[in-house]
């Protein structure tokens, strides 16, 4: 997470459920503020997109994993097929 960024205040409209989830995260101590919760969510989204781009590059170079490789990975990671 980038901590030295200049901050800018904006207004956004969110579904009530998302606002409630953000406020609950603050109440539970999982986020310092609603703004911090939203910032963390956006940072996670950026990281997910970066990971997806990396995977796409790998697949472009090597092709997607075979079923045998997927089975091995699931077993190693403890994920049931």
pLDDT per residue over 3-20, tens digit each?
A: 667 889 999 999 999 999
Could you tell me the two tokens for 64? 């997607």
Q: Helices 34-62 & 16-27, crossing angle to 10 degrees?
A: 110
Instruction: Please name which of 32, 34, 11, 35 lies closest in space to residue 21, comparing C-alpha atoms.
Output: 34
19 HSE (CA, 13 A, CB side): 6
Examine the pLDDT at 1 and tell me if it is beyond 80.
Answer: no
Mean local confidence (pLDDT), 24-43? 97
Could you tell me the two tokens for 63? 């092709």
Cβ neighbours of residue 43 under 8 Å, at least 6 residues apart? 1, 2
Give percent of the chain with pLDDT exceeding 70. 94
Average per-residue pLDDT for the chain: 93
pTM above 0.75, yes or no: no
Mean local confidence (pLDDT), 44-58? 97
């Amino acid at each position: 997470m980038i901590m030295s960024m200049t901050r800018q205040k904006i207004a956004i409209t969110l579904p009530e459920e998302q606002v409630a989830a953000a406020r609950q995260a603050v109440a539970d101590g999982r986020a310092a503020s609603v703004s911090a919760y939203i910032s963390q969510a956006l940072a996670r989204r950026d990281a997910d997109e970066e990971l997806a781009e990396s995977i796409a590059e790998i697949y472009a170079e090597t092709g997607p994993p075979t079923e045998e490789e997927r089975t091995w990975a699931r077993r190693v990671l403890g994920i049931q097929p």
